[in-house]
Amino acid sequence: MAQAGDWQRDVLRELGQEAAGGDSAPGATAGSGGPSEVETPVRRAEPTLRLVRSVPAEPSAASGAGGSSSAGGSGESVPHMPVPVQPVPVQPVPVVQPPAHPAPPVVDPRVDSPHAAAQPPPGTPAQPGDPRPARRGSRVPQSPMPTPESVPTIDPRLAHALGRPQHGDSLTRRTGRSLRKLTSSAAQDVAEETRIARELQQPVTTGRVIAVTSIRGGVGKSTVSALLGRTFNHYRHDPVLTLEADAALGTLPVRMGADSVRWAAADLARILNPAMQLTDITGYLVPVSDGGWLLPASQGRVGAPLDVRTYRTVTLALRRYFAVTVVDCETLPGEVARTAMDTAHARVVVAPMTAEGVNGTRQVLDWLGQLPHSALASTVVALTAGSPDVTLDRKTAVAHLKESGVHVVAVPYDRHLAQGGPIRTALLGQETRDAAVTLAAEALSRAVRMR
């Protein structure tokens, strides 16, 4: 009888159920009707389950008295008892409910607002709509600025009042020049034009900035800037920019033939990024009909003028995209004009052909000569005539200005320029065209020599 109890204990112990069954075997011996009296020491269950082969039951005798008995000769058969397997209880998966009131964001005491503490780390790229600005030098586009409205340069109600543009030379003068060409040497004219074109097309290593200013307004400063810009656009094959750094009501967009303006220099200063390409920059500029681009200082409205910081930002960033930049500065002694004259590679001072205009320009030239890096070597004076009836002797005025050591180019009176409105180079007088080409060549040759 002890053998049957030992077998059950061995099976239960092998299956790891001994701990759940207690210290003694729960079963009874076959045919005894009570628990077994033999107690064995309890052993701990193995930590792992091992595969145990089932023990088949011994066959019992088919007949009563003559049958053979089980082990031990007792005559009693040992029944085959099934191995009890307890089911593993299934634990329910807890469901996490969202809190009724979300916890407030953790605010770093070193950060002013909770939004700044919730920003991702610096290495994470900005997503569309992310308020973080793009890092300097990164190609991630910044948040787009509101596009300003396009404003016409001339009120449409006054556009039709401009009238038909006139030619700079009268019909009599043009006829006489045509007759003189028949008898003059064409080889000399071609050689002179070739020399000037070579000077205007000379290569530059970095962008050259030419600043144009005057001692007072109304003397043709914007007109000279437009002539220089159109001349460089005609002769050069690389990008040329004409930049307006005048007050809010400058006339450079009108003289360059722009119908409307949208982006101003102050707007572009907030958008410029070192990762931008030339095609990105030109999207904010005004294309010129003869070639090149224009960047106005304002939209033709009375407002805050261009400041020194904006001027430095724009010129320093754009000079690497354009071979030549012509800057139409404000009149002296304005702060932006003095900054432009001090930082430009070449300078053009526009002087009216009047006694007071020549005298005031001479004072400006003396001031330029007192700068730490004498700027007279890179300065050219444009002596303009605003009326056909000029009483001041031209030779005397030119000689007085040349005493300071500068080169002087006389720009004659031109009917087309005096009419106002957009400048059309085909309608300029021959002397005016020659003066513009000479002035551009002198200014560029001095700008290239500056390092």
One-character DSSP codes across 192-246 = HHHHHHHHHT---SS-EEEEEEESSSSSSHHHHHHHHHHHHHHH-SS-EEEEEES
Q: What's the CA gap between 413 and 354, in Å, rounded?
A: 13
In this structure, how many other beta carbons lie within 10 angstroms of the beta carbon of residue 135?
A: 13
Decide if pLDDT at 21 tops 50: no
Decide if pLDDT at 86 tops 50: yes
| pLDDT: which is higher, 268 or 306 | 268
pLDDT of residue 143: 52
Tokens standing for residue 331: 């009149």
State the DSSP H helix or E strand holding residue 380, giving kind and residue range, or none if neither: strand 379-384
Decide if pLDDT at 442 tops 80: yes
Mean pLDDT of all residues belonging to the chain: 75
pLDDT of residue 60: 46
Decide if pLDDT at 49 tops 50: no
pLDDT of residue 357: 93
* Full set of structural domains in the chain with CATH: 1-57 (no CATH), 192-449 (3.40.50.300)
Nearest to 330 by CA among 366, 305, 298: 305
Q: What's the CA gap between 70 and 58, in Å, rounded?
A: 7
| pLDDT: which is higher, 91 or 216 | 216
Model confidence, pTM? 0.66
Decide if pLDDT at 412 tops 70: yes
| pLDDT: which is higher, 426 or 110 | 426
Q: What's the CA gap between 253 and 154, in Å, rounded?
A: 10
Residues sharing a CB contact under 8 Å with residue 238, sequence separation 6 or more, in sequence order: 322, 323, 324
Q: Which of 26-40, 95-109, 269-283 has the lowest mean pLDDT?
A: 26-40
Residues sharing a CB contact under 8 Å with residue 380, sequence separation 6 or more, in sequence order: 346, 347, 348, 349, 406, 407, 408, 409, 439, 442, 443, 446
Residues sharing a CB contact under 8 Å with residue 150, sequence separation 6 or more, in sequence order: 260, 261, 262
pLDDT of residue 348: 96
pLDDT of residue 36: 44
| pLDDT: which is higher, 104 or 437 | 437
The answer to whether 217 and 249 are in contact (CB under 8 A) is: no
Residues sharing a CB contact under 8 Å with residue 262, sequence separation 6 or more, in sequence order: 147, 148, 149, 150, 151, 286, 299
For CA atoms 354, 382, 166, 433, the dihedral sign is positive
What separation in angstroms does the CA of 157 have from each of 91, 153, 163, 188, 256? 85, 12, 13, 48, 20
| pLDDT: which is higher, 191 or 119 | 191
Confidence of residue 302 (pLDDT cuts 50, 70, 90): low
Share of the chain above pLDDT 70, in %: 65
Spell out where 396-438 has E strands. Answer: 407-411
Per-residue pLDDT, averaged over 148-173, amounts to 81
What separation in angstroms does the CA of 219 have from each of 95, 133, 142, 283, 367? 84, 44, 42, 32, 20
pLDDT tens for 114-154 read 344 344 444 444 444 444 444 444 444 455 667 888 888 88
pLDDT of residue 350: 95
DSSP state of 376: G
Q: Which of 20-34, 304-318, 327-341 has the lowest mean pLDDT?
A: 20-34
Residues sharing a CB contact under 8 Å with residue 402, sequence separation 6 or more, in sequence order: 408
| pLDDT: which is higher, 242 or 50 | 242
Q: What's the CA gap between 225 and 243, in Å, rounded?
A: 9
